[in-house]
Structure 1
């Protein structure tokens, strides 16, 4: 009976490790285990290849793909780019469609693993070059047979300053198209100091003789490349995400788009459409109550996600406007919460968000006092261990009792190895006499596993760790230790902690008890330093508490090493 219980214990332990690994795979774009997506029909905004389809169904296209059947007017306006700069953003606009084709996040350096300093190349989130495509586009689509200005239509910059001046809080750029079937589209981008959200106003003027009923599309188009911070050992989600009050936060895997099996809320009157990657995101935001049709599709080798909203009938001589916002920036939770309902969910904590959010809140509060994210991690783990002290003490007392009687169990197993039934009876008798529960040290620890998995996601997802120093050689908590000192310390503390635990009576289980932590430690050589620091702190506190309880119960400090043959 004891062997069965021991087997159950190690199966649970192994499953816990598998659970962590499975969540990495979910973020890496592999099929989800806990939140499987179902097949769904294609979004109605998707454009079939048939050129006979009405323009309203086929105007939304990729970055360099012309609208099928809709030839843009001759480029009387020469194609060029325009730049604008605030204290946090450096943007590049293309005169073709007035699209945003470049965005650098100035407070974040392009390189990781180094100390953040002045003069470093900033991280470029939006980009359009020979290697990468990640852009924000907008335009109009009309009724069947009516061509209107799109993101391929030449536009002229009619007003705007390139740099936010000293003492200035707002910067505005206005692009206007030439008339297309009598319709002029004007886009006005308004940037504010310290803000990553850009106000985007679309003005549609009907200079023709017939009424039009255009729809405005807002889309993000990008390639399928992962963020550079991803590794084979830990990976976060990259791809489109759609939020609505009805369906909440929905991630759409690139693989699902490839197979035309993307499932998401198609119509809504609230929410946003975003492109998400590790630490950073972009999102189109419309006001509450504005009806929109969400779409996700693939165009060539690129992925497009966006929304389509009707502007209503625009009579000759009339102008109608649509207000929207474009967010391009880091996943700073407090900033995202203020911009739009649910936008903070682009910082994805997985299925333990209910635990992760308060842990992040506490981590941020601690950092407000110590002003060092490394020491904040250490102090947070100390507080968590203190909160679970009595629960852990119960588990460690049970382990200490098991360790005290372990020599007698081993002797009895050797003596009665030819009579398994009697051996089980004697073992159960010994447990009753000594008041030992073989699983007593298991359940208190299992209760804490969700908390530490949630903390793992907090540290992995928080952009604040990027280029954040701790001490000495650790100048970036989001990158692996360049000298592997922390992973070595983590491996040693894991081995030390394992040696304090009683060995299972079964030699095979004893070997498994040692192999699994060692394999787990090897993986941490490639993990961000902040994650390794958190695990080291947890190990050290666990060793200290376990050693103290063993001493208080009179159990000698003895390392239990299995015999490998």
Structure 2
């Protein structure tokens, strides 16, 4: 059997088996997190306690029961609409005006959710005797807050009940054109004793994906807490590791941030520089909390203090994340091929700025990649064209040595050596394309910039499958044309298998993101043009000429 064909067949077969296995896993019913009447209480569960290394001495943690419901106030800017609860001043609902739901494009995408679809909250509070926690009921200002024309920010002030002469105000600032929310606690000690306190900022979420994964193969991006420090760099934590008590991340540091990552979107608490302690824990009923505890300088009687942190809650826009905090752009999940996917996205983003359309950017990057690998492809297609010219001689060998496989293989290798043909040369373009193909798949899967990005006509979302399967069919036809340009395998069974490959891959590509299929279609068309030209030159060359 032709070794080149055998290797190509094995590569395709392995990819087919892996993708089919992934598709089966994707379409299995997802486990449903157990929900009960105690879900709200769990989300508003125990206040985190700082360790002895961060807070020497005993810290009194309040245990007042959480109310079953609390009033909310709405804050609306040009980018988002948030609902802030009187209980703890938690952000219990957050909608993005510029991003729509996958199932219903008429509705804004919902990040924070108080239980309508799943549970996801941004919480904060203070630790110390009589200080307000995320279970304390604050006094809300009247009415809703809307960013008006000419205004740059909206400020929401929530007053906590006064305890032992200590007054606390939670101040939340929303800015125009930003997904950042500044959260601060203004503490005024009107008591007779010095006040020692800590502040904590946490994100509480269930483990369910916000949206059903798109595409064939069942590849899912990471969902869960993530931490970043200079000492530990970027560290992701699986929910299962939290349950097992095996979560590994830097616990204490003087820098960094804590985030809750999901597909396309992220929320992160970004404290200012200073000592802090990070934590991740299960709070029951399928809910998990991850956050940071920050010490507050001792407040003397009659004195005041302020502790604050920024909260980012928005899309994973890479150019903006990097400018917000060091390492924040690492939340974009490109899998194990980040070394290829990251520069590939950079080139795509640069081409998008030129064209204003991600579809045309994909086409241009395909042309650029084809130009980069042109010499390699040319050598491969020359080898395949020579194999095609030698087809009659190979068929003659089969007739002469059909019953002696060893002799036939020996004569074929002698012929390849004499004609200076590499029988494996035709595999090189496929082998080179596989890492690029997988990297582009992760770029389309993990880049929010591609989410619901249109190309033209019927393709209105490059990250989703072609709704009418037009591109996959075109891709299958282009593969069939390529097969016709290749030399016919001497083995009839092998020839039938190779002719079936376009049908198999067309079926697989029906569920791939349309942007990925677009890349493959353009690449196939360029390959056909190159291969046809080289084959025409080889077959028309006169014996003894340089071309021949």
TM-score scaled by length of structure 2:
0.84
Whether the 8 Å CA contact 1:252–1:263 is kept in 2: the answer is yes
Write out per-residue CA displacement over residues 5-38 of structure 1, whole angstroms, 9 at most, x where no aligned residue: 654444345456678889999999xxxxxxxxxx
Following superposition, the deviation at residue 158 of structure 1 comes to 5.0
Match of 1:135 in 2: 121
Whether the 8 Å CA contact 1:275–1:282 is kept in 2: the answer is yes
The runs of 5 or more residues in structure 1 that have no matched partner are: 29-46, 59-67, 115-119, 557-565
2-structure distance, mates of 1:16, 1:89: 42
1-structure distance, mates of 2:301, 2:520: 67
Match of 2:62 in 1: 70
Match of 1:295 in 2: 280
Whether the 8 Å CA contact 2:199–2:293 is kept in 1: the answer is yes
Following superposition, the deviation at residue 130 of structure 1 comes to 4.3
Which stretch shifts more, 227-236 or 539-548?
227-236
2-structure distance, mates of 1:206, 1:476: 55
2-structure distance, mates of 1:80, 1:130: 16
Following superposition, the deviation at residue 500 of structure 1 comes to 2.8
Counterpart of 2:256 (choices 271, 274, 278) is 271
Aligned: 1:110 with 2:93? no
1-structure distance, mates of 2:526, 2:110: 40
Whether the 8 Å CA contact 1:489–1:536 is kept in 2: the answer is yes
Whether the 8 Å CA contact 1:392–1:445 is kept in 2: the answer is no
Following superposition, the deviation at residue 180 of structure 1 comes to 4.6
Match of 1:317 in 2: 302
Match of 1:123 in 2: 109
Match of 2:385 in 1: 400
Aligned: 1:438 with 2:423? yes
Match of 1:177 in 2: 160
Counterpart of 1:472 (choices 457, 460, 475) is 457
Match of 1:331 in 2: 316
Following superposition, the deviation at residue 527 of structure 1 comes to 2.5
Match of 1:64 in 2: none
Match of 1:193 in 2: 176
1-structure distance, mates of 2:353, 2:77: 26
Match of 2:91 in 1: 100
Whether the 8 Å CA contact 2:3–2:423 is kept in 1: the answer is no
Taking a change above 3 Å as real, the CA distance of residues 303 and 523 of structure 1, as seen in their structure-2 partners, is farther
Whether the 8 Å CA contact 2:188–2:304 is kept in 1: the answer is yes
2-structure distance, mates of 1:361, 1:464: 12
Taking a change above 3 Å as real, the CA distance of residues 95 and 122 of structure 1, as seen in their structure-2 partners, is same
Which stretch shifts more, 316-325 or 120-129?
316-325
Following superposition, the deviation at residue 367 of structure 1 comes to 1.9
1:3-402 correspondence runs (5 A): 3=2, 6-15=5-14, 56=50, 70-72=62-64, 79-111=70-102, 120-142=106-128, 146=129, 148-157=131-140, 162-180=145-163, 183-231=166-214, 233=216, 234=218, 235-402=220-387
Following superposition, the deviation at residue 155 of structure 1 comes to 0.9
TM-score scaled by length of structure 1:
0.82
Question: RMSD of the TM alignment (CA)?
Answer: 3.4
